[in-house]
Amino acid sequence: MMRADAIRPLLRDADLLALRDALRGGGDARTVLKIMASGIGAHDADAVAEHAEILLNEMRRRRLEGESFEERAGLFSDDWRVRARAAASYDRSGTAAAPWAMIDEQMTLAAAGDANEVLDGSLAASALAAALRETSDAASRHLRSALHERWLLLEAGEKDVLDRWNEALRGLLPQLAANGIAAGENGETARLKTLLAACALRGRARLRLSGERASTEVIFSLATAAGAQDDEKKRRLAEEAFDETLAASDTVHSLESSSDFLRAARADLAAAEGGDESAARRLSVRLRTGLLRQHPELQERVEKLSSGFARHPDSKKMSGRLRRLHDVVAAVLMENESNSAERARRLGAAASVAAFGFFSDWRPPAEAAGPLCALAVASGDADPEAYDDDRPMTLIADGATPVHLPFGFLKKFLPLTIEAARRRFEVIANDPKTGSALRAKCAALADVAGRLARAGWRTNRSFGAMLGIRFSPRPGEIRDGMRLHDAVPSGSFAARIAWTGKRGRKMTAGALADDDGAPVGYAAYDPLSRELRGRDLHAVYTLGGVRIGHLSFDECGKRLILGDPDGGFVTAPGVIETID
Amino acid sequence: MPLVLNTHSYRDPVRIFVETILAEAGYSRLAPELQAEAVAALTTEAQKRIGLDLLEAIDRVSLAQFHSLFDGGATNEELAAFFALRVPDLEARLRRSLAGFGTECLRMAKELRDLPPDI
C-alpha cells in the first residue's frame, strides 16, 4: 500500500523540475497534481489529478475551518440546547460531506505543515495517494460512480434508491479504511472513523429524502438563472454553470409536483425564457419573497452579485461572477442542509428524552460513585420476561469499562440486594475454577456494587432495580444445605415481613433467594439468642411463613440448616404472618 | 438492537445507547478523546435518525409547533407533553429507530472488523 510520504522519492528528476517550474510559475493545484501523478506513473494522470484536486480542496477547507474538540464537547452538556448548538457546529465541520470528505478527515489529521501555504506538499501527496488508489481500481471506480449516480437520484426524491445507495457505500468501506491507514492512522482508528463517516453519510442520505433541501436547491438555482434573463449570453452561461454544479434540471421535473411555489416559479421561468418580461418580473418577486426571505443574511450578497451582471457584460468577468454566485448557492445549500439536519436531530433528542425521561425522580445518593446502567443488545421488546438467556446485556457504570454478560447469567443476580450481589460477584471473581474473562467481569461488577452498597444501597433495593430491569422471579424449592442470598424479590423498597414476636417484640424478616435468584423464604434474626446463647441466630421460614430451619455462615455466605439449632430458638416464633 | 432499559446517571439515553453500540462493536478501549468524538458523532447521528423517523409521524403543523416550542425555550416537561399528545406511540417508535440505527452500525462495524489487518 502506498503511503503519502512515499510519493516524493518516486518522482524522477525531470518531474521534480517540472514541479518546481509549475510552482514558481504559479501553476494551479490541478497542474501540480497532474505532474506528480505522471511522475509516479499513473495510468490516467488527468483523472487522478482531477480526483486528487477534489480531495485536496476539501482537506484545505477542513484545515482552515477546523473546530476545536472543546466546541464539539458541548454535546456532553446536560442542557440540550447547548448540545443542539454543539451538534450543529459538529455538522458544519463537514464530518462526512461526501465519501471523500471522510478520507480527507483522516488525512488532515495525519498531514502536517502550514495551512496557509498555497500548496501544502504533504496535503497534496496525501490527496494524490488517495486519488491514485481510488482511480486505479476498476471496481472502486464503479462503486464510486454508482454512489454518485444514486445520490443524484436521492436528491430527486426516489426513495427506493436509498437501499442501493447504502449498498454502494458499504462496498467502499474497505477503501475508506485503507485510506485512513495510508494516511497514518492505525487500523483500529481507521476502522472506527470509517464507521463514523459511514453512519453520517447514511444519515445524510436519509435527510436527502426529506425533500426540504432539494426544493430549496432548485428554487435557488431558478433564482440565479433569473438574474441573467436580460442577456441571452448571460443566461446561457448561467445555465451551463448551474448544470455543472447543481444538476438542477433533472430534479426540477421530479420535484415539480411537490411544491406549488416551485411549479409556478418554473412556469414563470419558461415564460421568461420565451421573452415574457412580466413573467421574469413575477419570478423575481416570487424568489425574493419566497426563498430569500428565509435567508435575509444572504439576500444582500446575492443581489449585489446579480446586479453585477449588467455592469460587466464581458463573458470572462461574467463567468467569474457566476462562480462566486455558485459559492453563495453552495453556502445556502450547506446551511440549509445543516439546518435540516439540526432540526431533525433536535427533534430526535427531545423525543428521546420525552420517551425515556431524565429520571429526575430517581437520583443516586450524592456520595455514590455512579450507578450501573443496563442495556440489552438484541431484537425485541423491553420485557425481560421475554428475554432469552443468550441475549447479550451490557452493564455500564461511570468511569468503568462496560461489562458484557448474557441475560441468563445476569438474571440470577437481579432479585438480590446490592450487597448480596456484590458478595456473589466477588466469590465468582475469586474462584480459580472460573474462566479468567468471567472472573474479570465479576470483579468489575463487584467493585461497582461495592461502591453502591457503601453509598447506602445495602438493604432496600435489588440489583435488578438498580439496573432498571423489571422482573418477577418464580419461587424456588427449599432444601437442606442450600446456599441462600439476601433478596428484594419485588424490586425496590420491598415490603419487609413483620410480626409481633414473643414478649411483644416487633420483628422483621428479610427475603431469601437461591443461587438462581428464585425466592425461597425469609430469614429473621432471633434477637435474644445472643443474650441467652451467646451467638447470633437466624431463623429461616418458608414462603408460607413456617419456620423450617436456621442459617449457618461460612466464607461464601449463608447456608440453610433444616431443623432447630441446639438449644432451640429463643424469640423466633414457629409461624410468621406477612404484612405487606 | 441495543435497547435502553435505564439511564440513571447520564441523562441522555441516546448517548447510553451509542456507548453500548461502540462497546458491542469492539471499541470499548479507545483513547479518551477518540472515544468522546466517536460517542458525540454517533449520538448526533442516532438523534437525527430518530428525528427523521418522527417526521413521518408528525404533521406539518405539529412540527412547526415543536420548533416554535423549542426555540421559545420550552421546558422538558412542556416538550414531553407535546410528544405525549402528538406521538402517542413515541417510545415504540424511538425503540424502532434506535434498533435500526444500532443494527446498521453493528453490521458495518462487523464488516470492517472482518477486513484483513492491513486492509
Q: What is the DSSP annotation of A65-106? A: T---HHHHGGGG-SSHHHHHHHHHHHHHTTTTSSHHHHHHHH
pLDDT confidence bin for A108, thresholds 50/70/90: very low
Q: Which residues of A touch B46 (CB under 8 A)?
A: 348
For residue A396, the surrounding DSSP H or E stretch is strand A392-397
pLDDT at residue B14 above 70?
Answer: yes
Cα dihedral A268→A270→A276→A278 (10° resolution): 10
Cα(first)–Cα(last) distance of chain B, in Å? 28
Mutation site, B1, B3, B65, interface A, largest A CB count within 10 A: B3
Q: How big is the A-B interface in CB pairs under 8 Å?
A: 242
- Mean pLDDT on A89-118: 33
The percent of residues above 70 in pLDDT, for chain A, comes to 37
A42-46, A239-243, B108-112, range with the lowest pLDDT: A239-243
Residue among B44, B51, B117 whose CB faces A347 most closely: B51
Chain A positions touching B77 (Cβ under 8 A) are: none
CB under 8 Å to A522, separation ≥6 — which residues?
Answer: A497, A509, A510, A511, A512, A540, A541, A543, A545, A576
Asked if residues A39 and A107 have their Cβ atoms less than 8 Å apart, the reply is no
Interface test with B, best of A103, A199, A213, A457 (most B CBs within 10 A): A199
Which residues on B lie below 8 Å from A386 (Cβ)? none
Higher pLDDT, A113 or A375: A375
CB A227 within 8 A of CB A269: no
C-alpha to C-alpha distance for B25 and A431, rounded to whole angstroms: 29
Partnered with residue A557 across adjacent β-strands are: A554
Between A159 and B104, residue with greater pLDDT: B104
Q: What is the mean pLDDT of residues A248-258?
A: 33
Residue A177 near residue A190, CB atoms below 8 Å = yes
Hey, are the CB atoms on A378 and B3 less than 8 Å from each other?
yes
Whether B9 has a pLDDT exceeding 50, the answer reads: no
Chain centroid to Cα B3, Å, comes to 11
Question: Considering only alpha carbons, which residue of chain B is nearest residue A378?
Answer: B1
Predicted confidence (pLDDT) at residue A425 exceeds the cutoff of 50: yes
Lookup: cell for A136 = 486505479
Residue A337's nearest CA partner among A225, A200, A153 is A200
Answer yes or no: are the C-beta atoms of A149 and B87 closer than 8 Å: no
Cβ A451 vs Cβ A369: under 8 Å: yes
**All 3 cell numbers of residue A529?**
439468642
Between A59 and A487, the more confident residue is A487
How high does pLDDT run on average in chain A?
Answer: 62
Subunit contact B6:A468, Cβ cutoff 8 A: yes
Calculate what percentage of chain B has a pLDDT beyond 70: 86
Does the CB of A392 have a partner CB in chain B at under 8 Å? yes
> A253 pLDDT exceeds 70?
no
Find the range with the poorest average confidence among A5-9, A272-276, A346-350, A432-436. Answer: A5-9
Distance, CA of A207 to CA of A214 (rounded, Å): 10
Per-residue confidence (pLDDT) for residue A257, from 0 to 100: 32
What are the cell numbers at A337? 442542509
Q: Which three cell numbers stand for residue A73?
A: 464537547
- Whether the pLDDT of residue A264 is over 50: the answer is yes
Determine the Cα–Cα distance for residues A379 and B81; give it in Å rounded to an integer.
Answer: 28
**Which grid cell sits at B47?**
438523534
Give the mean model confidence (pLDDT) for residues A515-541.
79
Least confident of A35-49, A288-302, A443-457, A515-529: A288-302
Residues whose CB falls within 8 Å of the CB of residue A296, separated by 6 or more in sequence, listed in order: none
Segment holding A381, helix H or strand E: none
Average pLDDT, stretch A198-214?
67
Residue A440: all three cell numbers together: 474479570
Lowest mean pLDDT among A35-39, A142-146, B93-97: A142-146
Helix or strand holding residue A334 (H, E): helix A315-356
pLDDT above 70 (res A492): no
Percent of chain B with pLDDT over 90: 0
What is the reported pLDDT for A482? 93
